Chains A and B, each alone.
Chain A
Amino acid sequence: MTAFTIEPVREQRAEVRHVPLSRVVNVELRKMFDTRTGFWLMSSIVITGLLTMVATIAFAPDADLTYYTFAKAIGFPMTVVLPMIAILSITGEWSQRSGLTTFTLVPHRSRIIRAKAISSVAVGVAAMLFAFVIGAIGNLVGTAIAGITPVWDVSFAEGANIVLGSLLCLLTGTMLGMLIRSSAGALVAYFVYALLLPTVAGILASSQEWFRDLQPWVDLNYAQAALFNGSLTGEQWANLAVTAATWLVLPAVVGLRLVMKSEVK
């Protein structure tokens, strides 16, 4: 029979302490790694980072062998992987239905979402720091092989811009996850958003005069790209603020409302 050795059940505990946000963040962080998908997504950051470093050393012409080249090359695959991590962290609760447990253990969905956003950003920052370190190693090794002096052409401000650009990509994933709440749907939407839209916008800008002047104010990808190309002018910051408000903040607010109201089946 059952060996049930727990104390008599109490109707009410003397003191039950609130679940602190830090604990929710830690658990959400753990949940990003503990599935096969999550593990390989995280691993792919490391693997692609190292592969790009090797490829840059092997194929970049000597003249381009600068820290900026490395940082940009290694950062690129991350801007693809990080949003996927952010998306799956949110959509898994619906697509895998684990939300039934998550939202009863913490019956405040905005808290869960906040924790997921914080842990996603933490992963994003860690990944970018990793990219900078790998980039530095690549720069040292690559220039040593080529027999030239290493060039450190990324200022702290430019580095911060690159991190910000990557985090905007990642938060786009968070936003799409909230808005769509289905893994497949949100991933497709992200690729349409990140790969298809810029192409369409590019074609439109090259053929339509009126769109060319408008693009910086309506195209988040375009405004965001400036972050990866050095420092921004005041107008470029304004472009970024306007497009991010329209394409990131506004849909995120709508998405959060949907998350709060939607049924977790």
Chain B
Amino acid sequence: MITIDSLSKKYRSTTVVDDISFVAPAGRVTGFLGPNGAGKSTSMRMMVGLTAPTSGSATISGRRFADLPNPGVEVGVMLDASAQHRGRTGREILTIAQQMMGLHSRRVAEMLELVSLTETEANRRVGNYSLGMRQRLGIATALIGDPAVLILDEPANGLDPAGIRWMRDLLRDYADRGGTVLLSSHLLREIEVIADDIVMIGNGRIVSQGSKTELLQAAGTVVRAADMHALRRALDASGVETTVPGDGTLRTDADSTRVGRVALEAGVALTELRTADGGLEDMFLELTADTQRERKVA
């Protein structure tokens, strides 16, 4: 479990991380979402003791990172897959980690197999690796100590679709076995497919947090029926406010259970009933609007 309590970081007059608090519980994948420059990396660096916080604290299973006797076997960290000595081979980088943590040497081969790096690839110097291979090596380094907590900064960066699928399965399985996973991304879709919980950050502040289902629910419900007039009447009568987006559906803030029940009672056959998408996306776009270079077309 990772507990972040009122964590802040100021560099002179600029506040990079502004009083953030959240918990990444065990057994779940927590997605740390935000546009570039929102303070994700700085927050993660503070969690692992690379950057000293201006105020607040970050603890892992109740202890500060610097107080962990052998951090590598308790927390797997990957902050930047490219931050490795270019002249070392992938195998050598894993061996250094294995020796520093005092693990059995067979862990190196096990990890190489886990992340699907071949013998030949493992013996090549990291300077010649593609970003995807570096990400795999970074994941291997994070997992080699068999830690209970994973902190990964943009782990899906540079992976191809198959690689992202692989990463998702790996982290899913890891969390299902009781592990804590905190991963960051600036891509909403990536977080949506991997994370159980989402913490959204913008300009150093948390703008939204909760389980993925909750956050998606907050976007409202989309409903469609063969007889749209009857549906609308029934919903109006039950006090469910609706809007007409103009694509032949009705949209409401009420959750899908309520809408379904109203329709059933009124005897209206539904042809579509689902959570509206885009709620999270709208919020995310709004957040990024200030920092985006692209101007809105409309």
Contact = CB atoms under 8 A, between A and B. Distances in A.
B99 A34 contact: no
A104 interface: yes
A31 B51 contact: no
A103 to B, nearest CB: 6
B244 interface: no
B69 to A, nearest CB: 4
Contact of B178 (A10, A31, A100, A108): A10
A98 B166 contact: no
Given A1-B169, A100-B79, 16 more contacts: A4-B174, A7-B146, A9-B177, A11-B148, A13-B73, A17-B102, A97-B82, A97-B83, A98-B84, A98-B85, A101-B84, A103-B49, A104-B49, A104-B65, A104-B71, A106-B100
A34 B178 CA distance: 36
A107 B100 contact: no
Report, as a range, how many residues of chain A touch the other chain.
35 or more
A101 B97 contact: yes
Contacts of B92: 34
A9 B80 CA distance: 24
B282 interface: no
Interface in B137-163: 141, 146-148
B177 to A, nearest CB: 4
Given A12-B148, A18-B69, A34-B92, A100 B50 contact: yes
Nearest to A37: B87
A37 B84 CA distance: 15
A13 B149 CA distance: 12
B1 interface: yes
A225 interface: no
Nearest to A39: B87
A97 B178 CA distance: 32
A105 B86 contact: no
Nearest to A7: B146
A16 B73 contact: yes
Contacts of A264: 50
A8 interface: yes
The interface centre, meaning the residue of B26, B50, B101, B178 with most chain A CB atoms within 10 A of its CB, is B50
Grouping DSSP codes into helix (H, G, I), strand (E, B) and loop, the A interface class, with mixed when no group exceeds half, is: loop
Grouping DSSP codes into helix (H, G, I), strand (E, B) and loop, the B interface class, with mixed when no group exceeds half, is: loop
A104 B68 CA distance: 10
Closest 8 CB pairs of A and B: A35-B87, A9-B179, A97-B83, A100-B83, A96-B85, A18-B69, A107-B49, A107-B66
A7 B82 CA distance: 29
A108 B70 CA distance: 11
B74 interface: yes
A257 interface: no
Interface in A41-60: none
B101 to A, nearest CB: 7
Report, as a range, how many residues of chain B touch the other chain.
35 or more
B72 interface: yes
A24 interface: yes
Contacts of A105: 71-72, 97, 100-101
Interface in A154-207: none
Contacts, number: 123
A26 B71 contact: no
Interface string B75-108: 0010110111111100011001101111000000
A104 B100 contact: no
A19 B102 contact: yes
Contacts of A37: 87
Contacts of B7: none
16 contacts: A2-B170, A3-B114, A9-B174, A9-B178, A12-B74, A17-B102, A18-B69, A31-B85, A35-B85, A35-B88, A101-B93, A103-B49, A104-B77, A107-B49, A263-B50, A264-B50
Interface in B154-202: 166, 169-170, 173-174, 177-180
Nearest to B115: A2
A30 B83 contact: no
A103 B51 CA distance: 11
B48 interface: yes
A220 B51 CA distance: 36
A11 B177 contact: no
A106 B166 CA distance: 30
A263 to B, nearest CB: 6
Nearest to B116: A2
Contacts of A100: 50, 79-80, 83
B79 A8 contact: no
Given A4-B170, A34-B92, A104-B71, A97 B80 contact: yes
Interface string A242-263: 0000000000000000000001
Contacts of A11: 1, 26, 61, 148, 178, 180
Contacts of B79: 100, 104
A104 B142 CA distance: 11
A170 to B, nearest CB: 21
